[in-house]
Amino acid sequence: MPKEMEKVYDPQKVEDRLYEFWIKEGFFSSKINKKLKPFTIVIPPPNVTGSLHMGHALNNTLQDIIIRFKKLRGFNTLWVPGTDHGGIATQNVVEKLIKSENKTRNELGREKFLERMREWKNSSGDTILRQLRKLGCSLDWSRTRFTMDEVCSNAVLTAFVELFKRGLIYRGKTLVNWCPRCHTALSDIEVEHEEEKGKLWHIRYPLKDGRKNGSAEEFKDFIIVATTRPETMLGDTAVAVNPSDKRYENLVGKKIILPLVGREIPIVSDHIVDQTFGTGAVKVTPAHDKTDYEIALRQNLPRVEVIDFHGKMTKEAGIYASLDIYSARKKVLEDLEAQGFLLETKEHLHAIGRCYRCNTPIEPLMSEQWFLKVEEMSKKAIQVVDKKKVKFIPENWANPYKLWLENLRDWCISRQIWWGHRIPIYYCLSNQDKSKKCPPVASVEKIEKCPNCGGTEIKQDEDVLDTWFSSALWPFSVFGWPKKESKNDIEYYYPTSVLVTGHEILYLWVARMVQMGLEFIKDIPFKEVFIHGIVRDRFGKKMSKSLGNVIDPLGIMEKFGTDALRFALTSNAAPGRDMQLSDDSFLSARNFSNKIWNASRFVLMNAQNYSAKDFENRYKAEELADRWIISEYNSLIKNVTEAYDSYNMDSAARLVYEFFWFKYCDWYIEIAKIRLNGPDEDSKKNVLNILIEILSGILRLLHPIMPFITEEIWGNLAGLIQVSADLKSILLSKWPEPNEKLIQAKILENMGLVQEVVVAVRTIRSEMNILPSKNISVSINVSSDKLKKVLEENRSYLKTLAKAENLEIGSAIKRIPQSAMSALRGIEIFVPLAGLIDLEKEKSRLQKEIETTKIELDRCRQKLENDDFTKHAPEKEVSKIKERLRDAEEKIRHLTENIKSMS
């Protein structure tokens, strides 16, 4: 006998209790079992500074769906949790805390500062992991990793030392992206480019005529240069033009005098110069611009550094030294104008590179950094995708992945911050004799004594590794690589099965993991990469605090329940495409939860006097409705399974929703009530058997998406399905398998006919304003014996569902006066109206509705006849008005026919 269900489903009473139950029973834990096939996912580790946002909610819901689905399919599933130390972001958080105490990290010193960092991490760093529990994530918490814990740190240091010994890591001075706020180098993909309004200044650079200094008036000939950064001209070492530009072909090779500075610099030609930008002549500042740096390498130009690491002008800037960039820009422009070199100023829209962590404008600067050679690693990472060893879903993401790797330069892996893995390079300071100077030593263990000279004055490199370096090792570092005891786990769980991630870190992380997996494990890190879109608001805008359009997932879970949040996210998560969400999405999902609960409660209430033994024998498909719902159910299992297997979770969600709401509830349960309320005990038991069989299957199909409500109902349903197995959790059940022999097109066709007739009669009731409580007479004229046979066999359905007191089915039935009519394929349906409604009053009501609709019709026509609207309005808006026009025309036609039918 099943347990009695509460009248109303309350997620707040259920979710925490069920999650603790799952944890206590160890349902999320995984151990090596060679009898079972493993299915492994490693979580994209959120930063320890993180709090659950809608992007996290989507990403982790999708991973949880996959894991729960595979577990029900019999796999030994493992989902590894963990967090990333988030070098720059986390250091920024703690620096702000220290600043509120009127201190700086430099005042504290490295060790004291790192102590504060660790204290903050221990107290606040696991917030997001606790929030993932609220989301229902089936993570194996016993395997939780942190990129700076002992296990992962050992992996990071080992990887660095190995790469260094292989000659793949080197130190060199080159142009890097520098954040003056974070005081560190950044890789190209850590720089976010935004279009911003700025200015384009046109400056006259005088051709050399023997003078070294002076105002513009002292020179006769000039070349006009356009720039968005006039302060960097102090470091110019050339002016460049395109060799195809006829305007400047006679000037190439000549010298010019750099305004304000007086330095002689050449005019050079280079194909990289865009002839259409500004004047077609550009200043070349190799120490402060990437393109200029490349020009300098090809043209053998010197580099003059005029901006330092704090964003101030260097002594090379002459009289502008020590000014910050913007003060220097103002002063340079004033001096250029005073001396006649500033020709004009224009408004200009251009891309500004900003730090992805603090949003400060990036300065390209020359700096000594550690680099990882990536050319060969990139080739291997491309090959495994070409050979389909790593598959992208959707597959169109493979091309951007490969294109990025094909153009990838050596990776700048050093960062000038303190929070992170300190680079394991040690320098011997004991022997200062340059001829005998000891080379740097790479070591996982801290060095106290120089292995070359025995000296004890040892210093470790000050820099730390880029956060993404440790993240790149994640798929195998989480298992304990390179320790020997990790061998069994790596052999069983690696490569992992699928990586679920957003496209924004395709390059930052995904490609790096493939490179490192192939380098150290000699195998791919994952077999598939499932790329999902990002969550946007209902207007399609990216969510941001500044726009005030952020939807807090924790608030949604509190208000609507976790299952509602998960269902709303999943049903909108088309692979690779961004989604738009609003409160309506979550409200609709909560209504679905309530529908599931109420329908399940109805079934179980009708089964109160039964036990599992009563349903031990398989049901009999006695009637058309039985065969129809069984056919639809098996088709559902087949389609939903295929959808989950192909990562079309949105399709799986919609399929179950449509089946449960419209087929199981709106049709089969309503039909089942005829027998449930009837005298035949065997028929009642049989229809209950079918209801329970399908309900148990739906719960399993839906469980990956909505784990809490399905588990709670399963606990109530278990008493009716547990005969030979202890299924105390839905997670211990088996995924339903479809019987394709039971999917019968003929059954679906016949039931479809019955449904069409019922819907047609219900539509007449609605349109003619016939009260639901009133029984009606229905006459059905059919064009064939085949149609007549199907309808006659299901007369009881038609009478009950259409609330037809009298039902006539024949092949020579004529329409009577004052009757409403509906025509289907080979069928005419007549409903006499006399005595049911006040015909004159109803005519008047319909006529008023026609007049109201005509007003809408005229509005639409006027808009579409307005050229300004059709030419300038968005295409989507024009299509919307056209659709409203068609709907209004159809409504008027239909209402007019209804009035005629009353005459």
Q: Name which of 533, 562, 474 is nearest 64 in CA terms.
A: 562
Give residue 217's pLDDT. Answer: 53
Strand pairing of 238-241 and 264-269? Answer: parallel
Q: Where are the alpha helices (DSSP H) in 482-582?
A: 487-493, 512-520, 553-560, 562-571
In the numeric block, the tokens 């994209």 are attached to: 44
* Least confident window among 81-85, 260-264, 469-473, 531-535: 531-535
Distance, in Å, from the CA atom of 68 to the CA atom of 75, rounded to the nearest integer, reads: 10
pLDDT at 538 over 80: no
Highest average pLDDT, of 116-120, 215-219, 698-702, comes from 698-702
- Which residues 6+ apart lie within 8 Å of 229 measured at CB? 288, 329
Distance, in Å, from the CA atom of 408 to the CA atom of 380, rounded to the nearest integer, reads: 13
Mean pLDDT for the stretch of residues 841-863 = 84
Strand pairing of 804-810 and 819-824? Answer: unpaired
The residues pairing with 704 across neighbouring beta strands, listed in sequence order, are none
Q: Given CA atoms 93, 146, 398, 642 in this order, what sign does their dihedral have?
A: negative
Distance, in Å, from the CA atom of 876 to the CA atom of 883, rounded to the nearest integer, reads: 11
Confidence of residue 769 (pLDDT cuts 50, 70, 90): confident
Strand pairing of 441-442 and 425-428? Answer: antiparallel
Instruction: Dump pLDDT digits (tens) for 418-465.
Output: 999 999 999 998 876 666 788 999 999 999 899 988 888 999 999 999
Mean pLDDT for the stretch of residues 751-773 = 88
Give residue 843's pLDDT. Answer: 75
pLDDT at 86 over 70: yes
Mean pLDDT for the stretch of residues 648-672 = 96
pLDDT at 268 over 60: yes
Strand pairing of 414-415 and 464-465? Answer: antiparallel
Give residue 312's pLDDT. Answer: 93
Output DSSP code: residue 420: S
Read off φ and ψ for residue 563, nearest 5 degrees.
-60, -35
CA Rg, the chain, in Å?
A: 36
More confident residue, 631 or 546: 631
Confidence of residue 558 (pLDDT cuts 50, 70, 90): very high
Pull the structure tokens for residue 197. 């309004």
pLDDT at 211 over 60: no
Mean pLDDT for the stretch of residues 670-679 = 92
Mean pLDDT for the stretch of residues 512-531 = 96
- Which residues 6+ apart lie within 8 Å of 773 measured at CB? none
Pull the structure tokens for residue 181. 């706020």
Mean pLDDT for the stretch of residues 297-302 = 92
Distance, in Å, from the CA atom of 787 to the CA atom of 789, rounded to the nearest integer, reads: 5
Instruction: Dump pLDDT digits (tens) for 472-521.
Output: 999 999 999 999 888 999 999 999 999 999 888 888 899 999 999 999 99
pLDDT at 215 over 70: no
Pull the structure tokens for residue 394. 């959707």
Give residue 434's pLDDT. Answer: 61
Identity (one letter) of the amino acid at 614? Answer: D
Confidence of residue 718 (pLDDT cuts 50, 70, 90): confident
Confidence of residue 752 (pLDDT cuts 50, 70, 90): very high
pLDDT at 62 over 90: yes
Identity (one letter) of the amino acid at 5? Answer: M
Mean pLDDT for the stretch of residues 673-698 = 92
More confident residue, 358 or 528: 528
- Residues 293 and 267 sit within 8 Å (Cβ to Cβ): no
Distance, in Å, from the CA atom of 238 to the CA atom of 166, rounded to the nearest integer, reads: 39
Mean pLDDT for the stretch of residues 355-378 = 88
Q: Name which of 477, 432, 685, 502 is nearest 60 in CA terms.
A: 502
- Residues 260 and 234 sit within 8 Å (Cβ to Cβ): yes
* Least confident window among 43-52, 185-194, 199-208: 185-194
* Average pLDDT taken over every residue of the chain: 89
Instruction: Dump pLDDT digits (tens) for 369-416.
Output: 999 999 999 999 999 999 999 999 999 999 999 999 998 889 999 998
3-state secondary structure of 829: strand
Distance, in Å, from the CA atom of 169 to the CA atom of 589, rounded to the nearest integer, reads: 52
Q: Given CA atoms 361, 363, 364, 366 in this order, what sign does their dihedral have?
A: negative
Q: Given CA atoms 154, 155, 157, 158 in this order, what sign does their dihedral have?
A: positive
pLDDT at 719 over 80: no
- % of the chain at pLDDT higher than 90: 58
pLDDT at 548 over 70: no
Kind and range of the H or E run holding 612? none
pLDDT at 237 over 70: yes
In the numeric block, the tokens 């972001």 are attached to: 89
Give residue 219's pLDDT. Answer: 46
- Residues 84 and 128 sit within 8 Å (Cβ to Cβ): no
Q: Name which of 256, 259, 219, 261 is nearest 241 in CA terms.
A: 256
* Least confident window among 120-124, 308-312, 547-551: 547-551
Mean pLDDT for the stretch of residues 574-583 = 77
- Which residues 6+ apart lie within 8 Å of 882 measured at CB? 860, 864
